[in-house]
Chains A and B, each alone.
Chain A
Amino acid sequence: MKGNEALAEAAVRAGCRHYFGYPITPQNEIAAYMSKRLPKIGGVFIQAESEISAINMVYGCAAAGTRCMTSSSSPGISLKTEGISYLAGADLPCVIVNVQRGGPGLGSIQPSQADYWQATRALGHGDLRIPVLAPSTVQEMADMTGKAFDLADEYRAPVMILADGLLGQMMEPVSFPDIGNADEPRAKAVPKKWAAVGHGNSRGKNIINSLYLQPEKLEEKITERFKRYEEIKNKHAGAVSENCDGADIVIAAYGATARIARSAAETAREKGIKAGTFRPLTLYPFPEKELREACKTAKKVLVAEMSMGQMVDDVKLALECKLPVEFFGRTGGFIPGPGEILNKITEVT
């Protein structure tokens, strides 16, 4: 299965029955898959007239308490950011997928990781954070989708999956045992007593809103939300460290680049360089503790990305500038080769 298709099937199995989107390469297989799959199982697929409309359909759908999703690629995500901010402000759970392509502007349709800053810092205006999950394999495209829906429901927040064109387009074997099946989607979903659905006057009104004109109310709301973000940070920040025990250099990379960094580190070890790898599974919250643990013996850290260097900021923040941090990146749609990263490892060690 292609990464995009695996993600879509995983969403269905996680109980997503409503998808709203607008076409853009390289994520079209998600919408195409949903358009075939959802009508057959009583779900709803709508190709909206724009990304802005699609995200606002998600707003309405999430307000009714059902699991729903939208997906797009970089320029399309920029259009959705207003809606994402409203979703966060109204405490509405949903899953938003960004299969990154080149930017800025229309950029290119080739893979990229240049939306890291946007995803982790600026997915919308206001005092907000959005949990961001970063798959690195087709299997993780599926697994993390299940996790994203659970996180969204548990914390009443929009959750982003930050993939890229490489992961979306490539095929790898994938299995779905931990996600559930379409007939019996995993019923982890928290009861949504807040949902705005018909109730025949059996209770008071539920109001979904992001407007708080009184500063006291808004501050209270945001403070409460940041407590939830803190809990997400404590419970759900995650990373995979390999060969970091005794390593002289740790290569930090996420998503597709992490796979390539892993190959490069392996060759470096064969050449006698003590190289470990660190791969964040969550970009917000950034796995700071895990990174510090992975870098215990390291003299240097090398960050590799398909951008001019964005995650490198979080690495420096987490390490509190106690270690020198080097960077290697390709941009414009180029996928770094393991050889290029290896050269950089050799150069800096």
Chain B
Amino acid sequence: MTSEILIAGFGGQGILFAGKLLSYVGLIDGKEVSWLPSYGPAMRGGTCNCSVCVSDKPIGSPLVLNPDALIVMNAPSCDKFIGSVKEGGKAFIDSSFVGKERGDPRIDRYYIPATELARDNGLKGMANIIMLGKMIKETGLASFDAVKRAAEKTVPAGKADLVEANMRAIEIGAAN
């Protein structure tokens, strides 16, 4: 089985990092993984997205056109991608930035005020990880233990305290 995940938002929200962390989670679970960023001239402040594939078999196209799970952290990305989610798929929307209800009833939609939750919990800049926590919980894509080990791998050695912060963000996401 292949799970295709698309994560999108503004540059600077940690979209690419969230994707990297998710790829590591898959790797730790012994899966085939791929990560592909959108690259272009407008990175910071512009829209940004990355495709992550987690599979039991070698991955064909690393580009996700119709995601099983979509995480969107701003309104333009929500508008652009929500229609592409597979039927029966799941969309995770940061309601701090996306006000009104969007998307069609073919998919499950989850609204999480991730950016506000991050701010209120002293985890500024970790809304991306809160979103990831919610996604992992609802999809059952991986165990929290694998997430912890992935965080230990992706967080630079000099910032070991961030592992704990990342795990708190994952838990907050899962609880909301």
Chain A positions 242-267 with a Cβ under 8 Å from a chain B Cβ? 259-260, 262-264, 266
Q: Look across to chain A and name the residue whose beta carbon is closest to the beta carbon of B65.
A: A337
- By a CB distance below 8 angstroms, the chain A residues around B41 are 109
The segment out of A14-22, A144-152, A169-177, A178-186 that lies at the interface is A169-177
| Interface pair A173/B33, CB less than 8 Å apart | yes
Q: Is B83 an interface residue (CB 8 A)?
A: no
Q: Look across to chain B and name the residue whose beta carbon is closest to the beta carbon of A168.
A: B39
| Interface pair B39/A170, CB less than 8 Å apart | no
| Interface pair B34/A338, CB less than 8 Å apart | no
A26 and B39 in contact, given A171-B34, A259-B62 (Cβ under 8 angstroms) = yes
Q: Look across to chain B and name the residue whose beta carbon is closest to the beta carbon of A334.
A: B63
Q: Is A25 an interface residue (CB 8 A)?
A: yes
| Interface pair A169/B60, CB less than 8 Å apart | no
Other-chain residue from B23, B27, B60 in contact with A260 (beta carbon distance below 8 A)? B60
Other-chain residue from A26, A165, A170, A259 in contact with B60 (beta carbon distance below 8 A)? A259
Size bin of chain B's contact surface: 10 to 19
**Least Cβ–Cβ distance between B49 and chain A, in angstroms:** 13
| Interface pair B34/A170, CB less than 8 Å apart | yes
- By a CB distance below 8 angstroms, the chain A residues around B62 are 166, 170, 172, 259
| Interface pair A169/B61, CB less than 8 Å apart | no
**A-contact bits for B43-81, CB 8 A (1 contact / 0 none):** 000000000000000111111010000000000000000
How many residues from A make CB contacts under 8 Å with B? 21
Count A-B contacts at CB 8 Å: 49
Q: Is B40 an interface residue (CB 8 A)?
A: yes
The CA-CA distance from A293 to B110 in the complex, in Å, is: 52
Q: Is B36 an interface residue (CB 8 A)?
A: yes
| Interface pair A259/B59, CB less than 8 Å apart | yes
Q: Is A335 an interface residue (CB 8 A)?
A: yes
**Least Cβ–Cβ distance between B57 and chain A, in angstroms:** 9
Q: Is B37 an interface residue (CB 8 A)?
A: yes
Q: Is B20 an interface residue (CB 8 A)?
A: yes
- By a CB distance below 8 angstroms, the chain A residues around B40 are 109
A262 and B36 in contact, given A171-B20, A171-B23, A337-B65 (Cβ under 8 angstroms) = no
- By a CB distance below 8 angstroms, the chain A residues around B63 are 166, 335, 337
| Interface pair B61/A259, CB less than 8 Å apart | yes
Chain A positions 1-53 with a Cβ under 8 Å from a chain B Cβ? 25-26
Q: Is B92 an interface residue (CB 8 A)?
A: no
**Least Cβ–Cβ distance between B150 and chain A, in angstroms:** 13
- By a CB distance below 8 angstroms, the chain A residues around B33 are 172-173
| Interface pair A170/B65, CB less than 8 Å apart | no
The CA-CA distance from A263 to B40 in the complex, in Å, is: 27
- By a CB distance below 8 angstroms, the chain B residues around A169 are 36-37, 39
- By a CB distance below 8 angstroms, the chain A residues around B20 are 171
The CA-CA distance from A173 to B29 in the complex, in Å, is: 13
- A to B CB contacts below 8 Å, 20 in the list: A109-B40, A137-B58, A166-B36, A169-B37, A170-B35, A170-B36, A170-B62, A171-B20, A171-B36, A172-B34, A172-B62, A173-B33, A259-B59, A259-B61, A262-B58, A262-B60, A263-B61, A335-B63, A337-B65, A338-B61
Given A137-B58, A166-B63: 16 more A-B contacts, CB < 8 Å: A25-B39, A26-B39, A109-B40, A109-B41, A169-B36, A170-B35, A171-B23, A172-B35, A259-B61, A262-B58, A262-B60, A263-B60, A263-B61, A264-B60, A335-B61, A335-B63
